[in-house]
């Protein structure tokens, strides 16, 4: 029952543009082009087909920057494909001085297959493996970027890669069901349970959200930011909606600042932060054994007759329940009472 409901939720969650905004055509030199989304004469653009572990072939745009030290892996939002995203990719490549790779989910654009939660996970895993094998990019030089629904596959991959350089969550969701209604419990048929996966992300996390987002409430972004282990200064765009944040000047300014700081992070700095985090976890979960100690309730601190609990009574609330029976420790009334009880027996 849960699986069937989950499949139904996936069908209601994805809205690929129909028809696609581009098509794939081979060039004379063996490369691929994607007219009319991207110009054919753009030598900095590679259009590639990548096969996933689920048998789908997805389209990827790789835009290189010769001055780049980092690579941005972009997972776009719903109701969009690479044709919509190309101009933004060019802007990010130039302003952030990074390489950018974006991809279409299964069933989006010219990618084969059907869109689903499981397919999007396989899609982003295939793109990351493609980055490693084809372009030699390691996880230390990757920033994952997830917009709206794209935050699901982004956090899925980020939770598996402990040495990522950073993560950007743009109008992200806590979970699919939490977009429709305010619930505090987890259900088996819920999709993209980012509320749990964010806790496994070890790298800096930048959250960007509009305060007037009427599709994904601002509380989603704020909740993810609060649950991040290494939260970066968030960007709350006043008056920003769901699909217009990149048009605000603060967006590219804050993204540029984040990219520069991620470039400057050295291995030594990252290891230092990891050690501090481990030290805090050890302090937080330290187990302390309780042992009784003499307090102001102890009436006879000089007593040496108590064997089990020195200098103190077992239950200070009940002074007659002393461990020892010597008169130096217990009041005479207590000892007389104990003696009377023994005589009665």
CA atoms within 13 A on the CB side of 234: 25
**Is the previous residue joined to 3 through a cis bond, with omega within 30 degrees of 0?**
no
* Residue spans of alpha helices (H) in the chain: 2-13, 82-96, 117-135, 151-158, 176-180, 194-197, 218-227, 249-264, 267-284, 332-344
Phi, psi torsion values for 271, nearest 5 degrees: -65, -35
Q: How far is CA 184 from the centre of its chain?
A: 18
Give the number of other CB atoms < 10 A from CB of residue 312: 22
Give the number of other CB atoms < 10 A from CB of residue 219: 13
Residues tagged active-site? 148, 213, 242
How far apart CA 294 and CA 311 sit, in angstroms, is: 7
* Beta pairing, strands 166-170 & 32-33: unpaired
How far apart CA 300 and CA 305 sit, in angstroms, is: 11
Q: For the stretch 171-185, what's the b/e string if a residue is b when 16 or more beta carbons lie within 10 angstroms of its beta carbon?
A: bbbbbbbbbeeeeee
From residue 216, give the alpha-carbon distance in Å to each of 51, 77, 211.
31, 12, 10
Phi, psi torsion values for 222, nearest 5 degrees: -65, -40
């Amino acid at each position: 029952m849960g699986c069937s409901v989950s499949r139904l939720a996936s069908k209601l969650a994805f809205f690929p543009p129909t028809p696609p905004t581009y098509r794939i055509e081979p060039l004379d030199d063996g490369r691929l082009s994607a007219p009319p989304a991207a110009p054919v004469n753009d030598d900095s653009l590679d259009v590639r087909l990548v096969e996933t572990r689920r048998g789908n072939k997805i389209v990827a745009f790789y835009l290189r920057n010769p001055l780049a030290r980092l690579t941005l892996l972009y997972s776009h939002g719903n109701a969009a494909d690479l044709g919509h995203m190309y101009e933004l990719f060019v802007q990010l490549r130039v302003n952030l001085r990074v390489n950018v790779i974006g991809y279409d989910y299964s069933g989006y654009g010219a990618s084969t297959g059907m869109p689903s939660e499981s397919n999007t996970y396989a899609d982003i895993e295939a793109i990351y493996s493609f980055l490693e094998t084809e372009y030699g990019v390691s996880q230390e030089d990757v920033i994952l970027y997830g917009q709206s629904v794209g935050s699901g596959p982004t956090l899925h991959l980020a939770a598996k890669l402990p040495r990522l350089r950073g993560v950007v969550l743009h109008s992200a969701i806590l979970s699919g069901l939490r977009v429709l209604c305010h619930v505090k419990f987890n259900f088996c048929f819920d999709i993209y349970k980012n509320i749990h996966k964010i806790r496994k992300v070890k790298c800096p996390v930048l959250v960007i959200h509009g305060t007037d987002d009427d599709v994904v409430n601002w509380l989603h972004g704020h909740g993810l930011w609060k649950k991040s282990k290494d939260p970066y200064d968030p960007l709350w765009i006043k008056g920003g909606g769901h699909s217009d944040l990149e048009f605000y000047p603060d967006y590219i300014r804050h993204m540029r600042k984040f990219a520069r700081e991620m470039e400057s992070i050295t291995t030594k700095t990252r290891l230092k932060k990891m050690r501090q985090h481990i030290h805090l976890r050890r302090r937080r979960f330290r187990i302390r054994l309780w042992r009784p100690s003499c307090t102001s309730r102890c009436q006879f601190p000089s007593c040496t007759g108590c064997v089990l609990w020195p200098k103190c009574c077992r239950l200070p609330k009940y002074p007659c329940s002393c461990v020892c029976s010597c008169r130096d420790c217990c009041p005479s009334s207590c000892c007389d009472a104990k003696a009377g009880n023994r005589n009665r027996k």
